[in-house]
Every structure is written in C-alpha cells, then in structure tokens.
C-alpha cells in the first residue's frame, strides 16, 4: 500500500513539474522595443512581484517610473536597485495604500502638484486576504485594495491622463474572475455571504474587468485607452502576504508550475508600450493577446451598476466626475 502511494505521489510530482515547464515555454513575451524617454508611468504595488518586473522593464526603456506603494522603506530599496540595474535615475517612490481612500486622495493630490504628465497608469497592486478584514473606511479589504482604490485613483487622475493623451490605463485582473458565478452588488462586503478568500479574490478581479470596460466606454474619443489582463499563473508572494501555512504552500506550488515574475509582467508591459495597444480599449488580454472573459464580465448593465456603486462607496465628488 505504501509503495503504491509512493508511486502515485512520484507520478503526480513529475506531472506537475513537466506541466509547469510546458506552461512556461508557451508563455508569450512583449516584442516591442519602444523607448519611453519623456514618458511618466505609475505602477501601483511596484515594489514586488510582477509590479517590480514591470517597473524595471519600463525604467530600462527610459521612462520616469513612480512606484506607488504602501511600504515606502521597502519600495525605496527596490527603487535604488532598479536605478542601479537600469542606469535610469528617474525611478521615484510615493506612498500609496490603495485600500485607504484617504491615502489615494493624498497621492493623487501630490502627484498633480509635482508632475506635469501621466502617460500610463498601471493598476497592479493586489491582495488575497485569508480571513475577512475591513479597510479603514469599512470595506472588505480585498475589494478595497484590488478594486475600490484603483477605481478612485484612476478617476482622480483622468484629467492628467487626458491632458497627456495618447495615454493608457492598464489594470491587472486574473483568469480567476471566471470562477465568480455571481456578483451581488448589494453584498460586496460579504455581510450576507460567508467570506472565503477565493470567492473574494475572484469577485475583485471580476470588478477589475467590469471597471475597465466601463471606463473605456466613458473615455471613448479622448485618446485615453483602458485595458486589463491576466498575467498568468505567476510565482509571486501575493498569496502569502499574511504569512500563513496555506499561503506558503500555494506560493511553493506556484513556484513549481508558474511563470517567473518577469514572464508574468509581459502582458502588463505589452499593454503599456506596444504601439498597437494604443488603438484598443475595453479589452482583456492573456499572453499579450486579446482573449475572452466570462459572460458576467461582458455584462454592460452590471458594469454600469458597479460604477454607480463604486462612485457612491468611494464618495466621488461632483468635481471629480470626468464624464
């Protein structure tokens, strides 16, 4: 019995390793060699994972890159490393906690006071919270971080994006959105539904796509395009930011089967730099190619309703509404 179990375990491990190798070989890369001298780009959550890899690639192309992060000490160390590796001194750090609307407003205000343009906004920061927690303003923390904060940030910076057009908004979603079977916009805080990390994360990633599609409609004809993406199965620390045994196990498995953070950043980079990406908006991409999302994510009525709920919840003011 033990021998049989050992054989089954060995076969399973081999299958995982081989499957991971095949998956990584099939991943696409951004082929654009476009330089970005004179361009300003914000990357939220740019101090680790695919955010860091994205920021470094853009810095290597000559862009002024702003790492918008909640841990300034860590981000400053990362920025120093990027400057050394790329030779680009224009890599800056600014405090931003996307789960805290006060922090988002402070960031946007200071950015407008000190920067003259914004060519690309990359909404990359994300979390998956094992147990239900609330943000400073009382919203479920996963949704507050992954959706609400980026919704508010983008709205507050639309005027700068429009003044800098042609410009782009790139939002990191996930294939996981397809596992969200419903979106109860009256229960985004999981007050009625029992909380679990996977449904909460899937909901936030669905909201990323609905937001992208709706803002693309509202920005049509302005020169600002908005697209979103699934980065792939990526070996980052996203699932273990809370330092749990389950998070550690999942991170280990991702390390075996998933892409590296550099490969995971390729679609974000593609949407930020590729010439053809400036002529597409409201689309969902996987491996640097347009892809299909779930039926729920294509629901225009749901996208409009989510926008209205989000406006209400982040308390968007009349002077902050761009459409």
Q: pLDDT tens digit string along 284-319?
A: 999 999 999 999 999 999 999 999 999 999 999 999
Rounded to the nearest integer, the mean pLDDT of the chain is: 90
Number of residues assigned to the chain: 323
- pLDDT tens-place string over residues 79-94: 999 999 999 999 999 9
> Residue 252 domain-assigned?
yes
Distance CA 174, CA 206 (A): 8
H-type helices in the chain, by residue range? Answer: 2-25, 49-60, 72-86, 101-114, 141-143, 149-163, 197-218, 245-257, 261-264, 266-273, 300-314
In the sheet with 64-69, reading across from the earlier edge strand, the strands are 91-95, 64-69, 40-44, 120-123, 167-172, 224-230, 284-286, 289-291
Phi–psi pair at 200, nearest 5 degrees: -65, -45
- Counting residues of the chain whose pLDDT is more than 90, the rounded percentage is 82
- pLDDT tens-place string over residues 162-214: 999 999 999 999 999 999 989 999 999 999 999 999 999 999 999 999 999 99
pTM: 0.88
Q: Which domain holds residue 150?
A: 2-316
Active site residues: 201
> Residue 153 domain-assigned?
yes
Q: Looking at residue 234, which CATH number applies to its domain?
A: 3.40.50.720
> Residue 146 domain-assigned?
yes
Q: Of residues 243 and 78, which shows the higher confidence score?
A: 78
Nearest residue to 275 (alpha-carbon basis) of 75, 89, 32: 32
Residue 2 in this model has a pLDDT that exceeds 90: no
> Residue 24 domain-assigned?
yes
> Residue 89 domain-assigned?
yes
Band the pLDDT of 77: cuts 50, 70, 90.
Answer: very high
User: Cα torsion at 44, 47, 50, 53 (round to 10°)?
Assistant: 110
Query: What's the half-sphere exposure (Cβ side, CA atoms, 13 Å) at 117?
Result: 14
Tally of domains in the chain? 1
Task: Report strand pairing: 64-69 vs 40-44.
Answer: parallel
Evaluate whether 47 touches 97 at the Cβ level (below 8 Å).
no
Residue 9 in this model has a pLDDT that exceeds 90: no
Phi-psi region of 317 (alpha: psi -120 to 50; beta: other; left: phi over 0): beta
> Residue 26 domain-assigned?
yes
Evaluate whether 42 touches 107 at the Cβ level (below 8 Å).
no
Distance CA 76, CA 88 (A): 14
- CB neighbour list of residue 148: distance below 8 Å, 6 or more residues apart: 98, 99, 101, 135, 139, 310, 313, 314
Position 14 scores a pLDDT of 40
Tokens of 99: 């789960």
> Residue 321 domain-assigned?
no
Burial (CB < 10 A; 0-12, 13-18, 19+), residue 292, is exposed
> Residue 322 domain-assigned?
no
């Amino acid at each position: 019995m033990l021998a049989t179990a050992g054989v089954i375990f060995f076969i399973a491990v081999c299958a995982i390793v081989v499957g991971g190798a095949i998956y990584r070989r099939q991943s696409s890369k951004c082929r654009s060699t476009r330089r970005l001298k004179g361009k300003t780009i914000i990357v939220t959550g740019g101090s680790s994972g695919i955010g860091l890899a994205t920021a470094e690639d853009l810095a290597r192309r000559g862009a002024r890159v702003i790492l918008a992060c909640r841990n300034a000490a860590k981000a400053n160390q990362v920025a120093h490393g990027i400057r050394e590796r790329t030779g680009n001194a224009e890599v800056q750090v600014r405090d931003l906690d996307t789960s805290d609307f006060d922090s988002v407003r402070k960031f946007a205000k200071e950015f407008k006071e000190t920067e003259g343009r914004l060519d690309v906004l990359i909404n990359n920061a994300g979390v998956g919270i094992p147990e239900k927690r609330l943000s400073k303003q009382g919203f479920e923390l996963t949704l507050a971080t992954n959706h609400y904060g980026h919704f508010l940030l983008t709205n507050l910076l639309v005027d700068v994006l429009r003044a800098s057009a042609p410009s782009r908004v790139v939002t990191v979603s996930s294939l996981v959105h397809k596992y969200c079977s419903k979106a109860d916009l009256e229960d985004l805080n999981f007050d009625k539904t029992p909380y679990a990390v996977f449904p909460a994360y899937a909901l936030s990633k669905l909201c990323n796509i609905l937001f992208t599609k709706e803002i693309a409609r509202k920005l049509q004809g302005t020169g600002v395009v908005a697209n979103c993406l699934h980065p792939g199965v990526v070996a980052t620390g996203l699932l273990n930011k809370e330092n749990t045994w389950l998070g550690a196990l999942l991170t280990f498995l991702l390390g075996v089967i998933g892409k590296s953070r550099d490969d995971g950043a390729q679609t974000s980079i593609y949407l930020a730099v590729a010439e053809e990406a400036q002529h597409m908006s409201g689309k969902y991409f996987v491996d640097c190619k347009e892809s299909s999302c779930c039926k729920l994510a294509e629901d225009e009525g749901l996208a409009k309703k989510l926008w209205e709920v989000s406006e209400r919840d982040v308390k968007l003011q009349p002077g902050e509404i761009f459409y």
